Amino acid sequence: MEVALGRVPPDAVVENGTLVDVATRRFVEGVHIAVSGSRIASISTERPATGPNTRIIDASGAYLAPGLVDAHYHIESSRLSPRRHAQITLPHGTTTLFEGSHEICNPLGLDGVRYILEEAEGLPQKIFVGVSSATPPTPYETAGAYIGGTEAAEALRLPGVAGVDEVMDYTALFAGEERLHSVIEAGLASGKVVEGHGVPSPPQADAFLATGVSSTHFSGDGVKALALLERGCFLELKPRDSRQAIRDLVAAGIDWQMVGMCVDDRPAETISRLGHLDYELRICIEEGLDPVTAIQLATLNNARHWRKEHEVGIIAPGRRADILFLTDLEGFEVDRVMADGEMVAEKGRLTVDIPIKPAPSYVLNSVKLPRPVIAEDFEVRAPAGKKSVNAVVLRPFYFSGDLGPLTRELPVEAGAVKRDLTNGINKVAIVRRGGGGIGVGFWEIGYEAGAVAMSVLHDSHNVSVIGATDAEMARAVNRVAEMGGGIAVVRGNEVVAEVPLPIAGLMTDRPPEEVVSGLERVNKEAAKLRPGKLLGANPVDTQTFIFLTCFPWGIVLTDRDLFNVRTGRPVTAVW
Amino acid sequence: MEVALGRVPPDAVVENGTLVDVATRRFVEGVHIAVSGSRIASISTERPATGPNTRIIDASGAYLAPGLVDAHYHIESSRLSPRRHAQITLPHGTTTLFEGSHEICNPLGLDGVRYILEEAEGLPQKIFVGVSSATPPTPYETAGAYIGGTEAAEALRLPGVAGVDEVMDYTALFAGEERLHSVIEAGLASGKVVEGHGVPSPPQADAFLATGVSSTHFSGDGVKALALLERGCFLELKPRDSRQAIRDLVAAGIDWQMVGMCVDDRPAETISRLGHLDYELRICIEEGLDPVTAIQLATLNNARHWRKEHEVGIIAPGRRADILFLTDLEGFEVDRVMADGEMVAEKGRLTVDIPIKPAPSYVLNSVKLPRPVIAEDFEVRAPAGKKSVNAVVLRPFYFSGDLGPLTRELPVEAGAVKRDLTNGINKVAIVRRGGGGIGVGFWEIGYEAGAVAMSVLHDSHNVSVIGATDAEMARAVNRVAEMGGGIAVVRGNEVVAEVPLPIAGLMTDRPPEEVVSGLERVNKEAAKLRPGKLLGANPVDTQTFIFLTCFPWGIVLTDRDLFNVRTGRPVTAVW
């Protein structure tokens, strides 16, 4: 206020740019923006008075857009700690993240929220946290922690917690699960935002939204998008997966105020290759959305949905001074980035020091087996006297509860059911990260040799392992445990590639370039073990997702063996 | 949820209407809306299953729009209690009000908030309260109560309190007044909305908004409207006073998501003549705004600004079942009204019983003089020995601090300064409603006889009186006090018209038709006293506003005599 009134000189003035006005969807030329500390004091076509220490930042020829606001994001999926993650995403223009915290909360409980908020302190990238609604993600698996209504309410009292993170298990929701409904109630009572995810098409959409859930992270077509919008659901587009929906919505000529966008999950190596929310924004423009509307989706619309438009999402007095300098609006190339009043990046490179804080002890050593696992832990016993058995042989992304196509014959040796490597059938196990539970099953994956284990396993983040032999599986799991969490690719007795992720078993605070090359290496080494097509080009990244237990998955493997998540019943693995 | 899933039959189904989809600005034909209790369960073009007790409400041929949401309103200005006010505004389609509470808080403090929320309980019209930021309105006057940061924070913890009500005293704001800034801080800390009013043009607009204030109730032109929108200010249009701005904004082709609308103040007799938010909506359409956008402004946009879009402002699952049946979209005639799942009005008439609760004792007897006033209380002494004096002679709506045009010569008799009735100069007084303070001044009003007194005096709500003689002034003030608050028109010793307003001296719970005719009568009788043109056609209504002490007023009269609100200094009245 004092700076806007001209009583105190501004700390910085961004001079002579073209404002992208996201409130009205217009441009204002020749704008000067006065900055005081981390916030914007005033905007004017008249040059503000300056003092001897006022920094002048020339914006001639540049469009000035608000810093990007990601409506839904999991920092953990980058494998980088929040501060390391800021180092690689600020240059892409992401100045605010709404962090869905269930990845870190599943192993750590509310300590996960605490860690993210501590990391965010003093960081020019704003991180607002949604408290996990998915701890545990489903009743079928054992996560390390529990967040019910009481715990959620405790977190929601923190100013840095902006709401409840993605309600997604609609089987449990429709079954009236007390824990999940009480978390939603806590969110509604707090006046903060209750986020949804995977909201289905009507009529189930209506039931989902009737519980108070406000939004969904959207991949789908225009018909579904319109149906959800009509029902008051804020759409957080994942543009990469929603190209058709974007074209359809553009064609329908809708009002876009209830549409935003998000990245959701992206490993560091993919960020370094594609970009971040800037990449998603370019996809929207490619698919025919006008650039200013696309910018609205990624700034003001996301901020308004999260009830933080007084803080971020618009270049306006009182808001954080988060400003992108763009030379090409259509191409959306981020030339320079101001965050919290400081120039933090230029031409894709960080230009400030973001110091790394030592990881607090409460986030370390969360992957800790009471004893090393051994090959015999992965043995599957056949019913007595059988030479071969019928077995459930899962495969990735099998969205059905029908066991028929999964039933295969497997050989038995010395009473134990064997893999069928010639037909690409591996053994898979989920090892509870604190010990005490191992679920074992057969999956059609294709690995011809070796084993791949990791403590990143959406959403429970137990340790998953896929292997061609029980001994290699044991070696890989033990290596992950020795690192206190991470990813290990094993061949024979040798660890051929690894990425330690000691922070909650999910993240590391090593330099991003080191982590990027580490992640590239584990993917490459895993690919050499020939996983076949089912795990795609980045088998390690895919492995992190194939054990989800929420809808639309059907038959799942957890640390407590096989479940049908559509019926809530255990499934017999071999007979 | 259970109803949407078809497990429980709906209580009501609104069948076969055309949905006005305010999320995307489209129409959906042939829609059936299932209602459960006070909320919407589902929306579908397929008929939902019904039970034996499901009420079927035919909407063939009707547009179905969300119930109207007034973004900023003072129920007190209707002179009706909240429940009586609901009786006359529900038929106009207003199903939600964001009540600015400073009128009632000035006499009653937080008991005012309590009273409004108690009245709202069980009412099909939703009333969310903004806690007063203007108690006292300015430092120059004595209201009955005080609301600082601590008191505001206490109110903001109530679920029915949606934010802080209209910050407007920008002289105090820019002077850094501790009370006002601490109320804003309490609002920001609560995560709720901090409302503004009277936000000036840039550069002062920037300073105003930099404090965290989010909005303004807007009367003005398009240039100012665009300047405020660009600066992230949510505009609550008062369409009746903003016709040019509406035309300008339509011509500019803006995105309207940051624009809403409000009625602000409207006495019962004006509501009965013009209508309510429906009337404002018709003005927008008249001025060229397309009807669906106009409906968005009065529904979803207002609800989103107030962070209540999960409750009201859209016909969608989980929201209150507030539905307007419109036969003519362009004319915006409200045919039938559903509120909280019940049909409450048809063709402008209430069709449900809204029982009146007895007014609690804490809202009564707030206008209570320690002794009756007498004529001598209004005497203005001249400096010794003077035959005539220079005097400040105010007039309504004089928006300047310049005393020049106000300085007039007035006669002196027996040491007392006299009116100059031949030149239309009356005496005016502000009598503190609890006694203990009387400010007296001269005003150019025109009354040739009699006196008009009232305990409705924006925003302090002390007792104002304008009179042709001191004796009539005393009679009128005493009558107001005898009624425990209200409006009295006196001629000689006779009270020729009166409206008792015993609730906080501002409202009554008598039937609306009785109050409407009473208000018409006091205006008519006051007009007979010939106030001239300065008070307009409804002199009583105008009198309620002409003693405001917030900007843009300049020289004001309060219970502590004359002040210049631009300098904060007392002003000598006669010399």
pLDDT tens, position by position, A51-109:
999 999 999 999 999 999 999 999 999 999 999 999 999 999 999 999 999 999 999 99
Structure tokens at B149: 């940061």
Residues 6+ apart with CB under 8 A from B21: A229, A230, B27, B28
Q: What is the mean pLDDT of residues A198-203?
A: 93
Are B310 and A26 inside 8 Å of each other by CB?
no
pLDDT of the residue at A40:
98
Nearest chain B residue to A20 by CA distance is B230
pLDDT of B551 > 80? The answer is: no
A231 touches chain B (CB under 8 A): yes
CA trace torsion A406, A409, A411, A412 (10° rounding): 80
What is the least distance, in Å, from the CA of A543 to any CA of chain B? 34
Are A229 and B257 inside 8 Å of each other by CB?
no
Sequence-ordered alpha helix ranges (H) in A90-221: 102-108, 110-120, 149-156, 170-174, 178-190, 204-210
Using a pLDDT cut of 70, give the percent of chain A over it.
100
Q: What is the mean pLDDT of residues A252-281?
A: 97
pLDDT-based confidence at residue A553 (cuts at 50, 70, 90) = confident
pLDDT-based confidence at residue B517 (cuts at 50, 70, 90) = very high
pLDDT tens, position by position, B398-453:
999 999 999 999 999 999 999 999 999 999 999 999 998 999 999 999 999 999 99
pLDDT of the residue at B142:
82
A:B CB pairs within 8 Å: 187
Helix, strand and coil percent figures for chain B, each rounded to 5: 30, 30, 40
Chain A CB contacts of B226 under 8 Å are 24, 26
B205 touches chain A (CB under 8 A): yes
pLDDT of the residue at A454:
98
Alpha-carbon distance A197 to A101, whole Å? 14
A 411-430 residues inside an 8 A Cβ radius of B: none
A393 touches chain B (CB under 8 A): no
Looking at residue B423, the DSSP 8-state letter turns out to be G
Alpha-carbon distance A432 to A548, whole Å? 15
pLDDT of the residue at A516:
96
pLDDT of B141 > 90? The answer is: no
What is the least distance, in Å, from the CA of A216 to any CA of chain B? 14
pLDDT of the residue at B25:
97
pLDDT tens, position by position, A205-217:
999 999 999 999 9
Residues 6+ apart with CB under 8 A from A440: A378, A379, A380, A427, A428, A429, A561, A573
pLDDT of the residue at A141:
84
pLDDT-based confidence at residue B568 (cuts at 50, 70, 90) = confident
Task: Give the residue from A248, A137, A142 showing the smallest Cα distance to A197.
Answer: A137
Alpha-carbon distance A230 to A252, whole Å? 13
Using an 8 Å Cβ cutoff, are B539 and B531 in contact?
yes
pLDDT of the residue at A20:
98
pLDDT-based confidence at residue A326 (cuts at 50, 70, 90) = very high
pLDDT of the residue at A287:
97
pLDDT of the residue at A567:
86
β-pairing, B451-454 vs B486-491, is antiparallel
Peptide bond preceding B291 in cis form (omega within 30 of 0): no
Backbone angles phi, psi at B149, to 5 degrees: -60, -40
pLDDT-based confidence at residue B550 (cuts at 50, 70, 90) = confident
B214 touches chain A (CB under 8 A): yes
Structure tokens at A480: 């992950």
Alpha-carbon distance B304 to B310, whole Å? 9
Using an 8 Å Cβ cutoff, are B313 and B68 in contact?
no
pLDDT of the residue at B88:
98
pLDDT of B143 > 80? The answer is: no
- Range scoring the smallest mean pLDDT among A137-151, A253-267, A274-288: A137-151
Task: Give the residue from A190, A177, A82 showing the smallest Cα distance to A134.
Answer: A177
Report the mean per-residue pLDDT for chain A.
Answer: 96
pLDDT tens, position by position, A419-446:
999 999 999 999 999 998 999 999 999 9
Count CA atoms within 13 Å of residue B428 on its CB side: 31
